[in-house]
Amino acid sequence: MKRLEGKVAVITGGSSGIGLATAQMFVEEGAYVFITGRRQDELDAAVRKIGKNTTGVQGDVSNLADLDRLYATVKEQRGHINILFANAGIGDSAPLGEISEAQFDKVFGVNVKGLLFSVQKALSLFKEGVGGGGSIILNASVASSKGFGMSTVYSATKAAVRSFARTWTVDLKQRGIRVNAISPGPIDTPIFNTSKLTEEQIEQFKTGIVSAVPMGRMGNPDEVAKAVLFLASDDSSYVTGIELFVDGGMAQI
Q: How far apart are CA 103 and CA 90, in angstroms?
A: 11
Position 60: which residue type?
Answer: D
pTM summary value = 0.96
**Domain contains 35:** yes
CATH number at residue 231: 3.40.50.720
**Domain contains 102:** yes
Per-residue model confidence (pLDDT) at position 208: 87
Of the candidates 81, 85, 90, 83, the residue with the CA atom closest to the CA atom of residue 62 = 90
Task: Give the tens place of pLDDT for each residue, 155-209.
Answer: 999 999 999 999 999 999 999 999 999 999 999 987 655 555 678 877 887 888 9
Write out the H or E segment, with its range, that includes residue 109: none
Q: How many domains does the chain have?
A: 1
Distance of CA 162 to the CA centre of its chain: 12
**Domain contains 1:** no
Identify whether the C-beta of residue 141 lies closer than 8 Å to the C-beta of residue 106.
no
**Domain contains 203:** no
Q: Which residues are catalytic?
A: 154
Cα distances (angstroms) measured from residue 229 to each of 22, 33, 46, 195, 247? 7, 13, 19, 28, 16
Position 166: which residue type?
Answer: R
Task: Give the tens place of pLDDT for each residue, 58-102.
Answer: 999 999 999 999 999 999 999 999 999 999 999 988 999 999 999
Rounded average pLDDT over 142-161: 95
